[in-house]
Amino acid sequence: MRWNLDDLVSIGDIATRCKASRSTVSNWQVRYRDFPQPLAHVSNGHIALFSWKAVADWYNRRDWKHEGPGKRSSR
């Protein structure tokens, strides 16, 4: 399988891009069954790598926008 390396992101990268905390992103993985699965694990399995396109598509389909740790917009 070939990946675009520029598309690979870690949980920390996702948190930064979504203006959320790392723990929030980890919670999304647990709470939402449709959250994208990691494409690979590196560093002896300690770091999961995701497709940013898949995560961004998932995030944009949600009916809320996260604005930072513990905050939601008032839509």
Measured between alpha carbons, how far is residue 3 from residues 30, 50, 64, 67, 72 in Å? 25, 10, 29, 29, 33
Q: pTM to 2 decimals?
A: 0.78
Report pLDDT for 25: 96
Q: What is the CATH number that goes with domain 5-62?
A: 1.10.10
Per-residue pLDDT tens digits for 1-39: 676 778 899 999 999 999 999 999 999 999 999 999 999
- Would you kindly state where each structural domain of the chain is located, as residue ranges? 5-62
Higher pLDDT, 70 or 1: 1
Higher pLDDT, 6 or 47: 47
What band does 64 get if pLDDT is binned at 50, 70 and 90? low
